[in-house]
Structure 1
């Protein structure tokens, strides 16, 4: 009998020479049709699994030691691509070495050298095409047409034969199903399967983002059926063996638009002067059982996605807005962490337990902030909780001071804005989003809870999912130094970068007109925080162990952490060495997949915000704004309307002189006038164009 193992062992053997399919029939002694059919299936499976590959002549070859398999992702400018393996390894691929691979293809890469500090390779085989659909603009040319992708990472335009127009009109946003992928001489081919509408119609923004990032907005039937069987309330049988916090003053504090409440808090002052902080998190794992349909779908999604005016949840609303949401006045099952914290912000004692709470009040950030400011309306509304809220503020100050002293980065606001939409989805205003004391209270309490849980698992050396953040690369810090130098800000780069250095920099630039741009560059200079089964600490928070424990309704790693807490801390289940090894392997896969899904969610959110910003500025064409130069290039200047966080380009061709670019000083110099444009310059600029298809806003300098 022919088996997958037998075939793989044969192809990986020392004496094997690459063979065609018919040669393998003979070499393996296969004579009847059934055996040959089984071999074809095995070979196809092994090809898809990346255990072997076919060369250009159709011969089957083993994967050698200097080859890896992963998903290719191109950069926006198309000059580079990066392949990510299932184990999280990253390989750089210069565009000329990508072959005919397109964004999201599963490929085999041969390692050829180094690109900075990571391997560099060449694509030698496309195993599978990740993109099945593409969203873009329909552009007819004669009796044919092209679909111009919205995503600049897709380097090809798609040819649309006339029979596949599907009544699309010039300039409309469309969804194309890919029929043929690129060849050395031909563009890829697609057929229009959906017409979304015109780009300036806000109704096209949502489906554009959904198709571009291949996001599922509905749940499979089996998931919804499973969710329908979950009860709407907590029964007495659910409360057995749980600590009862229902007589404690427990509250939730969230934004006014929040629908799912997965964290609640309580604070007491103890007789010894210490604080007892309770962080109670929705016990989602009680309802979402391991390997259930709900669990598999939650893993697949990885995270909820928030798009200004809507949410694509990780779990059905029955759970996320219902039984798992810590709504006011209702009994809810929780995982509770109570921490005794001293006046130096250190946890001197803790307890992790399964619990039950009844939220006393659903508080809103704005109301709590108004109470702290002494506003009469807020005092009338929530004044009965003033004592408890002031105690929370007191503890927040202690925790924040302790984090600052150990060197954590505290002051990154991120230039966040709130986009106001009308009933049709048009952006009618953009206002800065500021954090008040209430937001910082919840942030500090959640950070302390996440650190405490991570430290427990780290000290016990148990399998776990950490939230890790590597130190920044020296090269990116040098770029930050050069940027600051162009602004006239001196920044000494020490041999070893500590987060405290960057925090000092943020304090130094407080009130600077380009503070938002400095923050953005600082964030870009640091690596992305990711999930990992191995603890390497969290640079930005200056934490030696950190995790995500506090949002299991909307993040899959948090749900996994809850299961691990039950397995090792509250239920004390015995686990063999073999099971431990298997669990570690599973957690590694969960961490890598969750990091990928988080990245997709972030990109979808950024794209949706960018579309709404362009929609907003489209209604202000011809208007003049105060802008600040955030970057200078040989082709012009990028400027930003600071209070709107809207960026665009002043192209060098629109300037009233011939300008040369000085790359060392990062300035543009007028050859006749001697006029110099540099980073940090404040200008008056007129909006002249806003294009959703190219995701670009153009300005011109105005004397008005």
Structure 2
């Protein structure tokens, strides 16, 4: 119906632009319901960039060489890219950006090419993307201005005296944009977030910058629905469900986890095969399609994990309780039972609407201790009775993992994840790398196997579905990786049609290389980003033909959609109705695209907060000397990283002890006078020169010798002298 209206609209406005009421008349939409369908069709077309409104409020089609998309500026605001529906990018130089701001929806005219991309100029801003801005308030005599913290925003904002709202210079504030356009758009300060050196300002900054909801806060209509849901499983809910409550089923999660999406069970069958049960919270039973809960979950797309704060996709009444597979409580599930042979292949499976009662809430740390034979008497008493099941799970994990290794999946990429340790005042005391243990790998392998199995059901029948896809790497990015490896003395052949097995072999070969983590990062950058799609092109990194996200419906909207489709499939006894096939064929592209965007926003927010906390740590270690590895060489300096803490920074050429010339062919910096060479992988000593928490930038300077080394050298020359080297300490800019 919607597609039919959209076709008619295009036919009408092809002839001439029309007002909304003129479209109503042309389409003979007279009733409220008919007009709502027209409005919905127009809104979807606007959102998709198919049509736009001109200055007279009339709907138009983009002209020849015209595109509609969302503009995003680069980190320093010196360049922009417009992304149109479908992912195509158009490069916009600053002089062609007109008065567009970061995240605006714009009409762009293609005027040429920029490198390998079309080059465009902004013809018109169709919709403003930012309503608020977070920044530092500064005052100049009678007026004030705000310097945005987000470096992608390429302008300061004017504040009239009546809109200061008691803000003091230097404070971090939130402001509402009240006038767009011009050199300095105007804002009014709506909230004082705090002082720049207060660790409590970091979280609000990230939340406002990425336009995230306030933690734990949901609209009233959403909460009204959530509070009406019973907090226990009702007898009527059990109708038609397979009862697993007497089975030994348990959850394994992190120490601080509160939402338990998945529970597992295992048995050995008489034929020697394994029976693996993966039971996933049946969120779709409680979050009904088109309900307020559903609309809000779609809008959010995902839960966001900001160190020790969670912004959940669903209210806590669902995410932490009735949908969470808590210990000793009846819970509704979508249950997948897989028979897996000694080669790690699924030879049979069944899916059920189920009900379970988790026998135990296990944690990764406890299971790791038990399986590594490091459990004390207390831990043995608590979970030792589950040792047979856990040992069998470890055994099956190794079989499944080896199966994935044989087919060429990339197994050994470490995420560079860290854990922040805070003091009593909320300041970062230490940063430690997160190490994955046996239990984390067990759950990862079981969830991958479950996701592949569910995806194969829909792919084999060509039914509409939402897949998790990962396309093949960009050849240009692989060339960069190849050149990087050659510079550090490693030669690898990269065939035209690359298989993930080659990259896995590379990682195994580099197991003990000091630059392993840097190479892993470059490898990750050379791979395309995994996204959601209604079209299945497989998952390159997993070397999987069919993959989806089925296992986390509490925190990911696509998983919830997969559950709905699975329920309809079971109800249809192995297929979908014609009505559902038409409906989901139309709906899934938008759901997939929106979910991918929301995941990206969540990732960037998580990275931003982590980077700010890393700088906070550095600010307390300004006078220390760090051993770092050079991870990249450019004409303007050296990018370096503190290993284990994954803290990156720049040694700028202006701070170095010579005039350094960049040799592009060898990718090295060479000193003009001393002929000293700096190359990838070199270990050097540095001290912090500058650090800015709000921009998450760190500048280092090279220290050739530590204070102790200088003292030793001088004492060797002057044995009778009292020597104590004390370099001038830099002011802590915190």
**TM-score by structure 2 length?**
0.88
How has the CA–CA distance of structure 1 residues 614 and 244 changed in structure 2, closer, same or farther, with 3 Å as cutoff?
Answer: same
Which residue in the other structure is 1:542 paired with? 543
1:202 aligns with 2:199: yes
Specify the SS of the correspondent of 1:580: helix
* Structure 1 residues 387-402: aligned runs within 5 Å: 387-402=388-403
* Structure 1 residues 217-232: aligned runs within 5 Å: 217=214, 218-232=217-231
How has the CA–CA distance of structure 1 residues 572 and 7 changed in structure 2, closer, same or farther, with 3 Å as cutoff?
Answer: closer
Which residue in the other structure is 1:694 paired with? 695
Which residue in the other structure is 1:596 paired with? 597
Contact map agreement 1:614 1:692 (CA 8 A) in 2 = yes
1-structure distance, mates of 2:578, 2:119: 37
1:12 aligns with 2:18: no
* Structure 1 residues 240-279: aligned runs within 5 Å: 240-279=239-278
Which residue in the other structure is 2:712 paired with? none
1-structure distance, mates of 2:196, 2:646: 22
Give 1:234 deviation, angstroms: 1.1
1-structure distance, mates of 2:7, 2:652: 60
* Structure 1 residues 25-424: aligned runs within 5 Å: 53=52, 62-64=61-63, 66-112=65-111, 119-183=118-182, 186-217=183-214, 218-377=217-376, 378-424=379-425
Which string of whole-angstrom CA distances, capped at 9 and with x for unpartnered residues, describes residues 235-254 of structure 1? 22211211111111111111
Specify the SS of the correspondent of 1:192: strand
2-structure distance, mates of 1:60, 1:553: 39
* Structure 1 residues 622-633: aligned runs within 5 Å: 622-633=623-634
2-structure distance, mates of 1:45, 1:466: 26
Which string of whole-angstrom CA distances, capped at 9 and with x for unpartnered residues, describes residues 405-441 of structure 1? 0000000111111111234331111001010110000
Which string of whole-angstrom CA distances, capped at 9 and with x for unpartnered residues, describes residues 637-661 of structure 1? 1111111111111111111111111
Which residue in the other structure is 1:38 paired with? none
Which residue in the other structure is 2:523 paired with? 522
Contact map agreement 1:352 1:570 (CA 8 A) in 2 = no
How has the CA–CA distance of structure 1 residues 56 and 667 changed in structure 2, closer, same or farther, with 3 Å as cutoff?
Answer: farther
Specify the SS of the correspondent of 1:643: coil
How has the CA–CA distance of structure 1 residues 675 and 117 changed in structure 2, closer, same or farther, with 3 Å as cutoff?
Answer: closer
Contact map agreement 2:53 2:126 (CA 8 A) in 1 = no
Contact map agreement 2:612 2:694 (CA 8 A) in 1 = no
1-structure distance, mates of 2:13, 2:271: 71
Q: Which moved more, 1:624-633 or 1:85-94?
A: 85-94
Contact map agreement 1:267 1:391 (CA 8 A) in 2 = yes
Which residue in the other structure is 2:617 paired with? 616
2-structure distance, mates of 1:572, 1:59: 48
How has the CA–CA distance of structure 1 residues 8 and 492 changed in structure 2, closer, same or farther, with 3 Å as cutoff?
Answer: closer
Q: Which moved more, 1:558-567 or 1:360-369?
A: 360-369
**TM-score by structure 1 length?**
0.92
Give 1:169 deviation, angstroms: 2.0
Give 1:701 deviation, angstroms: 1.3
Which string of whole-angstrom CA distances, capped at 9 and with x for unpartnered residues, describes residues 267-303 of structure 1? 1111111000000000000011111110000000000
Contact map agreement 1:469 1:539 (CA 8 A) in 2 = yes
2-structure distance, mates of 1:276, 1:519: 35
Give 1:387 deviation, angstroms: 1.1
Specify the SS of the correspondent of 1:594: helix
Q: Which moved more, 1:486-495 or 1:456-465?
A: 486-495
RMSD of aligned alpha carbons: 2.7
- Structure 1 residue runs of 5 or longer lacking an equivalent are 29-40
- Structure 2 residue runs of 5 or longer lacking an equivalent are 27-38, 707-734
How has the CA–CA distance of structure 1 residues 47 and 333 changed in structure 2, closer, same or farther, with 3 Å as cutoff?
Answer: closer
Which residue in the other structure is 1:554 paired with? 555
Give 1:138 deviation, angstroms: 1.6
2-structure distance, mates of 1:555, 1:459: 24
1-structure distance, mates of 2:394, 2:447: 14
Specify the SS of the correspondent of 2:266: strand
How has the CA–CA distance of structure 1 residues 53 and 354 changed in structure 2, closer, same or farther, with 3 Å as cutoff?
Answer: closer
Give 1:683 deviation, angstroms: 1.1
Give 1:200 deviation, angstroms: 1.5
How has the CA–CA distance of structure 1 residues 143 and 596 changed in structure 2, closer, same or farther, with 3 Å as cutoff?
Answer: same
2-structure distance, mates of 1:10, 1:302: 35
Greater relative contact order (Cα < 8 A, sep 6+)? 1
Which residue in the other structure is 2:445 paired with? 444
